[in-house]
Amino acid sequence: MTFDENYQIQRFPAARPGEPGFEQAVEWIRAVNHGFHQPKRTLEQITTALGVRLADDREQLGVYQRGSVAEHSFPAERPVATFGTLRKDVNIGFGKMLPALLVTAVTVRASHRRRGILSRVMREELGRAQQAGLPLAALNASEAAIYRRFGFGVSTKERKITVDVGPKFKLNHTDAGRVESVPRQVLLELAAQIFASWHAAQPGSVGRSEGYRYQAAGMGGWGNEDDDNVLAALHYDAAGVIDGYVSYRFLGWDVSPGTFEIVDFVTANEAAYLALWGFLASNDLVERVSWATAPPENPLEWALEDRRCVRLVDEKDMLWLRILDVVAALEGREYSTDGELTLEVHDRLGFGSGSYRLSVAGGAVQVIQLDPGTEGSGSQAAVPSGDADLSLDVADLASIYLGGVLPSTLLAAGRILEHRAGAALLAQRMFAVEKAPFCASHF
């Protein structure tokens, strides 16, 4: 039996209680929770989560069984697979933004796995996004072996760190502003605007869900419990303008040494960032701060007299990027140096297959699609193909696109093939961005 004989796809928005579609949205959330082995949520928690989904303008996709379902199994109204999407801008370096389809809540019920459901839905949704003119797609992956086959490449990473804020913590930073402890609820109002300043200046950043300001304030926006243990502090610059916040919780007297866990930490500039670290470290009775989503390139390490106060606990891939329109993506970038590169791009799903000549002269960017590939995506007329300088998968193009993964590393790994000596190094210099890319938005 084919997919279409067994299943049907439905797409729908979130809804509030009493509105049409509310029951369907509730069943969809329950399917997501089941897929991620999460504890059952109350209707109230699901309603809160749906409120965030509405505010984000998310689309829910469900795959439903056709005909009758197996006796005693979940009802036909409960989708066997889920796939959520929303749209946000990605900072692609030097303050430039491109819109992306963000893919989230991907689950297939265990008893329906490995029948090609994800493959079918992914191909369809990426195709629709490309048709709608979105040059990029992105996701956070639960496992690293799933998404490369669909053209997604790792573009940013994040670190879990602990910071020793005991006597060894000596920060070489003099703050021109000040820090104040504040009621956590003020972040509901302030978090989004501070994030917007950070986002505008941070390559690799993806626009944030509405849920984040609730999370920052400890107010359970994604259907979690309100958490009165969350504490908050703001940084004010010399002129009194609020330019950063940190929210955190004390892990309790049973944890030794006394530890703060960071909930959210966003600043519009490095001075506020370092000042808030100074504030965290200045708290009595606390000798450790843990942070599960820290940037790999962390100015804190270099502002400390003893950089070993920052200890790496774990590092993992964070943002997986997918280029849907190679011409638009390459044209959208600002490049760190002039140069000319011909890229032969392979794309198993066909969206970006083809050869592209990228020319940057005096900062002006021109991209010509030379060979449209099998299902090429370029908007320009095809002209005869020249010899490629580099051959690479569209997933690897996504990895080097934000400057976070070096072409020389992918060359050494055999992922990129170099046909002209020095082409990988030129790509490295051209794709470099103004600071290490980092994404602070899980979705």
Ligand X SMILES: CC(=O)SCCNC(=O)CCNC(=O)[C@H](O)C(C)(C)COP(=O)(O)OP(=O)(O)OC[C@H]1O[C@@H](n2cnc3c(N)ncnc32)[C@H](O)[C@@H]1OP(=O)(O)O
Alpha-carbon distances of 114 from 71, 121, 287, 338, rounded to whole Å = 22, 13, 48, 46
Q: Is 252 helix (H, G, I), strand (E, B) or coil?
A: coil
- Three-state SS at 312: strand
The conformation of residue 148, written as its DSSP 8-state character, comes to G
Dig out the tokens for 415 from the structure. Answer: 């992922």
Instruction: Give the dihedral sign, CA 393/397/400/402.
Output: negative
Residue 248: active-site member: no
In the bound state with ligand X, the residue whose beta carbon lies nearer, of 44 and 124, is 124
Rounded to a whole number of angstroms, the minimum distance from the CB of residue 174 to ligand X is 43
Which residue from 138, 231, 166 is spatially nearest to 442, judged by alpha carbons?
A: 138
7, 64, 147, 401: which is the annotated catalytic residue?
Answer: 147
Vertex 398: Cα angle to 393 and 401 (nearest 5): 125
Return the H-helix or E-strand segment holding 356. strand 354-361
State yes or no: residue 32 binds ligand X (CB under 6 A). no
Residue 310: Cβ within 10 Å count = 20
Q: Which stretch binds ligand X (CB under 6 A): 90-98, 143-151, 178-186, 387-395?
A: 143-151
Instruction: Choose between 149 and 429: whose C-beta lies nearer to ligand X.
Output: 149
Q: Which stretch binds ligand X (CB under 6 A): 102-110, 249-257, 278-286, 352-360?
A: 102-110
The label of the residue with tokens 């929210």 reads 247
Stretch that binds ligand X, among 133-141, 180-188, 300-308, 385-393 (CB under 6 A): 133-141
Segment interacting with ligand X (CB under 6 A) among 50-58, 72-80, 137-145, 196-204: 137-145
- The owner of tokens 């994604």 is 222
147 catalytic per annotation: yes
Q: Which of 14, 24, 25, 35 binds ligand X (CB under 6 A)?
A: 35
Site string for ligand X, 36-65 (x = CB under 6 A): x-----------------------------
Element (H, E) at 332: helix 326-332
CA distance 292 to 261: 8
Closest separation in Å from C-beta 152 to ligand X: 9
Distances (CA, A) of 121 to 205, 216, 421: 26, 33, 40
According to CB under 6 A, which residues from 109 to 128 bind ligand X?
Answer: 113-119
Contact call for residue 145 and ligand X (CB under 6 A): yes
Question: 140 or 247: whose CB is closer to ligand X?
Answer: 140
Q: Which is nearer to ligand X, 113 or 160 (CB)?
A: 113
Q: Which of 15, 49, 139, 440 binds ligand X (CB under 6 A)?
A: 139
The correct pick among 46, 126, 138, 141 for binding ligand X (CB under 6 A) is 141
Residue from the set 105, 161, 230, 370 that interacts with ligand X by CB under 6 A: 105
* Residues 272-331 interacting with ligand X (rule: CB under 6 A): none
Sequence ranges of the binding site for acetyl-CoA:
106-108, 114-119, 142-143
Q: Which stretch binds ligand X (CB under 6 A): 39-47, 104-112, 162-170, 421-429?
A: 104-112
Query: Binding ligand X by CB under 6 A: which of 47, 85, 107, 130?
Result: 107
Residue 2 touches ligand X, criterion: CB under 6 A: no
Q: Show binding-site residues.
A: 106-108, 114-119, 142-143
Residues 34, 41: Cα–Cα separation, whole Å: 10
358 binds ligand X (CB under 6 A): no
Q: How far is the CB of 27 from ligand X (least distance, A)?
A: 16
Choosing from 7, 212, 356, 443, the catalytic residue is 443
Minimum CB separation of residue 36 from ligand X in Å reads 6
Assign 91 to helix, strand or coil. strand
Stated as kind and residue range, the H or E segment containing 194 is helix 186-201
Among the listed residues 9, 29, 106, 191, the single contact to ligand X using CB under 6 A: 106
Decide if 121 contacts 9 (C-beta within 8 A): yes
- Closest contact distance (angstroms) between CB of 155 and ligand X is 14
What distance, in Å, lies between the first and last C-alpha atoms of the chain?
34
**Rounded CA separation 62/40 (Å):** 19
Q: Which of 46, 61, 52 is nearest to 104 (CA)?
A: 61
Strands 310-317 and 230-236, by their bridges, are: unpaired
Does 14 participate in binding ligand X (rule CB under 6 A)?
Answer: no
Q: Please count the residues of the chain.
A: 443
Catalytic annotation, residues: 147, 443
- Binding region for ligand X (CB under 6 A): 35-36, 103-108, 113-119, 139-143, 145-146, 149
